[in-house]
Amino acid sequence: MAKSERAQKVFIDWSQNADFKTTVGVYSLRAKRGRPFTSLPVTWEELQSALKTRNADGLYFEPEAALKRLERTGDLFASVLTAQQSLPESIAESTPKQPARASKTSEPRPTLPRASAQGGRKRFVVQKHAASHLHYDFRLEMHGALKSWALPKGVPYDLNQKRLAMATEDHPMEYLDFEGTIPAGQYGGGTVMVWDIGTYEVMEGNYYKGNLQIYLNGKKLKGEWHLTKDRAAKNKNWFLVKTGSSMKPLRVKSENASALTARTMEQIAADKTAQWHSNRTPVAGLDIDKLPRSEMKFIEPMQAKLVPALPEGGDWSYEIKLDGYRALAIKDHQTVRVLSRRNNSLNGRFPAVAEAVDRLEDGIILDGEVVALDAEGRPSFNLLQHHKGNAEPLVFYAFDLLAYRGRDLRDLPLRERRQLLDAQLANARDPIRTSLLLNAPAKDVVAAVQQQGLEGVIAKQIESRYESGQRSGRWVKFKVNRGQEVVIGGYKPSGKNRFENLAIGYYEGDRLMFIAKLKNGFTPAAKDEIFARFKGLANKVCPFANLPEPKNARRGEALTREAMKKYRWLRPELVAEVEFTDWTAANHLRHSKFIALRDDKDPREVIHEV
Known catalytic residues?
Answer: 321
Residue 196: name the closest of 113, 272, 274 by CA.
Answer: 113
8 Å CB contact between 543 and 569: yes
147 to 345, 415, 595: CA distances (angstroms): 28, 31, 47
HEC profile for 489-539?
Answer: EEEEECCCCCEEEEEEEEEECCEEEEEEEECCCCCHHHHHHHHHHCCCCEE
C-alpha distances out from residue 383 to 4, 121, 133, 374, 391, Å: 44, 36, 60, 7, 10
- State the Cα torsion 60-64-66-68 to the nearest 10°: -130
DSSP states along 233-251:
SSSSEEEEEEESS--PPPP
Taking a C-beta distance cutoff of 8 angstroms, is the pair 467, 303 a contact?
A: no
Q: 302, 277, 292: which is closest to 187 by C-alpha? A: 277
600 touches 341 (CB < 8 A): yes
| Residue 103 to residue 82: CA distance in whole angstroms | 50
CA torsion, points 389, 606, 584, 324, in degrees to nearest 10? -20
Nearest to 327 by CA among 601, 33, 578, 609: 601
CB hemisphere CA count around 477 (13 angstroms): 21
Per-residue buried b or exposed e for 107-139, using 16+ beta carbons within 10 Å of the residue's own CB: eeebeebeeeeeeebbbbbbbbbbbeeebbbbb
DSSP code string of 34-96: SS-EE-----HHHHHHHHHHT--GGG-B-HHHHHHHHHHH--TTGGGGT------HHHHHHPP
Q: Distance between CA atoms of 459 and 316, rounded to whole angstroms?
A: 6
Instruction: Return d(Cα 114, Cα 199) in angstroms, integer.
Output: 8
Q: Is 427 helix (H, G, I), strand (E, B) or coil?
A: coil
At residue 31, φ and ψ (nearest 5 deg) are -135, 45
156: number of CA atoms within 13 Å, CB side? 20
Q: Are 543 and 537 contacting, i.e. CB atoms less than 8 angstroms apart?
A: no
